């Protein structure tokens, strides 16, 4: 189905001032729209994808992965999520490398699965159309029937079982749609659900852990990445006591869900109150003494898990983007790194088996997709025997030996630290051959996130099929490099992160194996903003950009993002209600400078996105077209913040390859100014 519509006439002044590279010279332009994927995807000005590209990408698009969710009741099997149809569903695996038996069969992805203590029923979360308004369901594995526990309208998550499995604590916006309160319900009587902590408008509270008596609940409060707090809730009296953090002593207590010790006398947690990185610590609830456990590890602790009996623990660190797994004796606080894991990579989803003799996790690397592994443990808390692989996901018939791993590099930027030029870390993937290679700059979202070298079939596709190098910078504002680094782009400093991309372009120009005349940028969410901002400032040095669910105007973004997350984003970007900040946010927004985006642009968006509303993509597409420049626009009506359905992801990846093939590999070399480059 093809629909044609005309754009509004361009103003005469715009035409007279248009640069020589304008590709649409007519006063009126026609946008050609096609509806595909059973009417669920609208494509505007996107050419037909040749069959050769679909065939070329087929194997890469049939790579699978598996993620550990929990152990079975007896510990002889595991529950995993994986995809054999369009979306991820729950499966059971009964033995190492055994068959995956599908348990759920929904049209939407299933996530956040946990087994009910003492039983075989399973809790999981599911939303509709990517809206992220997750509902909680309880599945009876014996008969395959699931019942919804939550109201069907609010946003729910962060569910925690009481130790006896009778009650559930969870985060919900049910009270007013804006506040992330904590609710508790008796699972066998959903009418018992009640809010036990009411958060101020727009703030975030979440349950962290029940004590063994079921009378106390640890509560996490998120204000910003640099300010989080831990409270203790007395469920009988309703008293909420601040344990750590607050306006007078702001610090981060993120990365580790606070956990009661087995005797209930203390709490394991992570904090950056005493250094640049989060350290594992123990709080004595009687004396309120806080002792640091991992003071000798110069990296951030990002996960902690205690066995059901409290006799063993494990934690993860993030060491220059790579995960390290440690075992911990909760009684002595001694710990030891686990050696002999199958390659350096990313680990997540730590889960102890019900008898404490196994530690399961999900692991992937730059060259292998996510799979489930189980570490067989010894008699003592720090002893272990072997790591056993439980799943081996399909790789579409590709030879993983040919996959490329990245090199950790860094490049100088425009400012200094202690008198030395600041250096920005990045991961560089190089294809085979001497080069010079075209370059795809991949910018992560967040912004308080970090590119880490996990598996990406998309990167391997770009390397092998396009012959392009891929570089993923962790510009200022990224996490993983200390609490000061993550603050360097806040508020009025926002565009300094864009200047880091300019410095990266200088670095690319200095390398003989990279082609400075063939560089494109790609990013999603906040990374989408970075793509647009990079095109505003560096269109003369970039051939094209791909913006996926990106922010185009910070003011309209903050005004239109979902109520439950608006204040959380103001802490990062600035408060648009303040006149000075509003003027600044508006001034740096890409849609205010659309006439400077001269390089071709591909925009992709989910209609139901609760984080970055569809209006952000609509308005940048309209502004760039009005300025007379090319935009391909893909809008999925059944998606939210990114594409979770295979048919939509496949189509998007094919369009990206077609876009890059046209503007990266087939484009003539761009004429360059003889003036020296600047990172601004």
CATH number, domain containing residue 322? 2.130.10.120
**Quick one: 503 and 589 in the same domain?**
yes
- Total Cβ atoms within 10 A of residue 211: 20
**Quick one: 510 and 558 in the same domain?**
yes
**Quick one: 464 and 331 in the same domain?**
no
Q: Is residue 225 part of a domain?
A: no
**Taking a C-beta distance cutoff of 8 angstroms, is the pair 225, 207 a contact?**
no
Structure-model confidence comparison of residues 64 and 652, the more confident one? 652
Amino acid 668: pLDDT: 54
Amino acid 667: pLDDT: 54
Q: Is residue 243 part of a domain?
A: no
Mean of pLDDT values over 244-250: 89
Amino acid 30: pLDDT: 86
User: pLDDT averaged over the chain?
Assistant: 90
**DSSP character at residue 383:** -
**Quick one: 433 and 548 in the same domain?**
yes
Task: Report the share of the chain in percent with pLDDT over 90.
Answer: 77
**Quick one: 420 and 492 in the same domain?**
yes
**Taking a C-beta distance cutoff of 8 angstroms, is the pair 547, 601 a contact?**
yes
Return d(Cα 562, Cα 611) in angstroms, integer: 6
**Quick one: 547 and 626 in the same domain?**
yes
Boundary of a domain, candidates 330, 361, 394? 394
**Quick one: 368 and 465 in the same domain?**
no
Task: Report the share of the chain in percent with pLDDT over 70.
Answer: 93
Q: Is residue 650 part of a domain?
A: yes
Return d(Cα 442, Cα 546) in angstroms, integer: 10
Phi, psi of 606 (to 5 degrees): -95, 135
Amino acid 57: pLDDT: 87
Amino acid 5: pLDDT: 38
Q: Is residue 162 part of a domain?
A: no
Amino acid 564: pLDDT: 82
- Token couple for 552: 């185009």
**Quick one: 97 and 6 in the same domain?**
no
Indicate the number of domains in the chain: 3
Boundary of a domain, candidates 394, 425, 457? 394
CATH number of the domain enclosing 590: 3.40.50.1820
For residue range 456-505, list pLDDT tens digits in order: 989 999 999 999 999 999 999 999 999 999 999 998 999 999 999 999 99
Q: Is residue 209 part of a domain?
A: no
Closest CA to 620 of 560, 550, 569, 561: 550
Model-level pTM?
0.90
Q: Kindly tell me if the per-residue pLDDT of 271 is higher than 90.
A: yes
- Total Cβ atoms within 10 A of residue 213: 12
Q: Kindly tell me if the per-residue pLDDT of 669 is higher than 80.
A: no
**Quick one: 605 and 478 in the same domain?**
yes
Amino acid 671: pLDDT: 41
- Cα 480 from chain centroid (whole Å): 14
**Quick one: 528 and 647 in the same domain?**
yes
**Quick one: 362 and 417 in the same domain?**
no
Mean of pLDDT values over 334-343: 93
- Total Cβ atoms within 10 A of residue 568: 17
Amino acid 21: pLDDT: 31
In what side-by-side order are the strands of the sheet with 437-443? 2-6, 30-36, 41-44, 631-636, 601-606, 544-548, 514-524, 437-443, 469-473, 420-429, 407-417
Q: Is residue 161 part of a domain?
A: no
Closest CA to 456 of 346, 543, 609, 612: 346
**Quick one: 81 and 120 in the same domain?**
yes
- Cα 487 from chain centroid (whole Å): 19
Q: Kindly tell me if the per-residue pLDDT of 352 is higher than 80.
A: yes
In what side-by-side order are the strands of the sheet with 227-234? 204-210, 216-224, 227-234, 240-244
Q: Kindly tell me if the per-residue pLDDT of 674 is higher than 60.
A: no
User: Which stretch of DSSP H or E encloses residue 360?
Assistant: strand 358-365
For the chain, helix (H) and strand (E) counts, in that order, are 10, 39
Mean of pLDDT values over 174-193: 95
For residue range 535-549, list pLDDT tens digits in order: 999 999 999 999 999
**Taking a C-beta distance cutoff of 8 angstroms, is the pair 623, 633 a contact?**
no
Return d(Cα 277, Cα 632) in angstroms, integer: 42
State which residues form the domain around 117. Answer: 65-148
Q: Is residue 347 part of a domain?
A: yes
């Amino acid at each position: 189905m093809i629909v044609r519509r005309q754009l509004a006439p361009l103003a005469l002044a715009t035409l007279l001032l248009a640069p020589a590279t304008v590709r649409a010279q007519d006063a009126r332009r026609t946008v050609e729209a096609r509806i595909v994927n059973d009417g669920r995807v609208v494509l505007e000005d996107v050419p037909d994808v040749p069959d050769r590209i679909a065939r070329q990408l087929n194997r890469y698009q049939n790579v699978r992965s598996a993620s550990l969710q929990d152990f079975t009741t007896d510990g002889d099997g595991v529950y995993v999520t994986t995809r054999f149809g369009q979306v991820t569903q729950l499966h059971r695996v009964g033995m190492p490398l055994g068959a995956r038996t599908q348990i759920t069969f929904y049209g939407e992805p299933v996530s956040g699965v946990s087994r009910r203590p003492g039983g075989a029923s399973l809790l999981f979360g599911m939303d509709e159309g990517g809206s992220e308004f997750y509902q909680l369901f309880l599945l009876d594995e014996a008969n395959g029937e699931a019942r919804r526990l939550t109201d069907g309208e609010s946003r729910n998550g962060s569910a925690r079982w009481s130790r006896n499995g009778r009650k559930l604590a969870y985060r919900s916006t049910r009270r007013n749609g804006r506040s992330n309160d904590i609710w508790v319900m008796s699972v066998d009587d959903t009418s018992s659900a009640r809010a036990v902590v009411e958060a101020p408008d727009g703030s975030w509270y979440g349950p962290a852990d029940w004590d063994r008596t079921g009378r106390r609940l640890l509560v996490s409060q998120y204000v910003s990445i640099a300010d989080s707090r831990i409270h203790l809730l007395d469920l009988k009296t309703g008293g909420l006591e601040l344990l750590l953090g607050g306006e007078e002593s702001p610090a981060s207590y993120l990365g580790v869900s606070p956990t009661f010790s087995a005797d209930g006398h203390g709490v394991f947690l992570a904090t950056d109150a005493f250094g640049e990185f989060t350290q594992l610590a123990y709080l004595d609830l009687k004396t309120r003494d806080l002792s640091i456990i991992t003071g000798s590890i110069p990296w951030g602790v990002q996960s902690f898990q205690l066995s059901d009996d409290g006799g063993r623990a494990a934690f993860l660190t993030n060491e220059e983007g790579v995960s390290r797994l440690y075992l911990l004796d909760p009684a002595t606080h001694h710990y030891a790194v686990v050696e002999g894991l199958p390659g350096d990579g990313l680990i997540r989803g730590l889960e102890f088996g019900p008898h404490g003799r196994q530690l399961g996790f999900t692991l992937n690397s730059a060259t292998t997709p996510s799979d489930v592994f189980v570490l067989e443990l010894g008699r003592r808390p720090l002893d272990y025997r072997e790591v056993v692989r439980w799943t081996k996901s399909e790789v579409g018939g590709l030879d993983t030996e040919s996959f490329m791993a990245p090199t950790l590099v860094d490049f100088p930027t425009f400012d200094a630290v202690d008198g030395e030029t600041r250096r920005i870390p990045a991961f560089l993937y190089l294809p085979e051959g001497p080069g010079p290679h075209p370059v795809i700059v991949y910018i992560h979202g967040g912004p308080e996130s970090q590119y880490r070298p996990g598996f990406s079939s998309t990167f391997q596709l770009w390397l092998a099929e396009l012959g392009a190098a891929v570089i993923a910078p962790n510009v200022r504002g990224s996490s993983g490099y200390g609490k000061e680094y993550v603050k360097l782009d806040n508020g009025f400093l926002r565009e300094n992160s864009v200047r880091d991309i300019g410095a990266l372009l200088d670095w690319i120009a200095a390398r003989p194996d990279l082609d400075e005349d063939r560089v494109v940028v790609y990013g999603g969410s906040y990374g989408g903003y970075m793509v647009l901002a990079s095109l505003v400032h560096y269109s003369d040095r970039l051939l094209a950009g791909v913006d996926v669910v990106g922010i185009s105007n910070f003011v309209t973004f903050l005004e239109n993002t979902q109520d439950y997350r608006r204040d959380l984003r103001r802490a990062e970007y600035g408060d648009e209600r303040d006149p000075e900040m509003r003027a600044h946010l508006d001034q740096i927004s890409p849609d205010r400078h659309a006439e400077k985006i001269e390089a071709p642009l591909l925009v992709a968006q989910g209609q139901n996105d609760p984080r970055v509303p569809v209006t952000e993509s609509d308005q940048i597409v309209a502004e760039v077209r009005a300025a007379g420049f090319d935009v391909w626009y893909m809008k999925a009506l059944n998606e939210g913040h990114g594409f979770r359905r295979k048919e939509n992801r496949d189509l998007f990846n094919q369009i990206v390859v077609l876009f890059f093939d046209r503007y990266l590999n087939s484009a003539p070399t761009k004429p360059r100014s003889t003036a020296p480059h600047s990172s601004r």
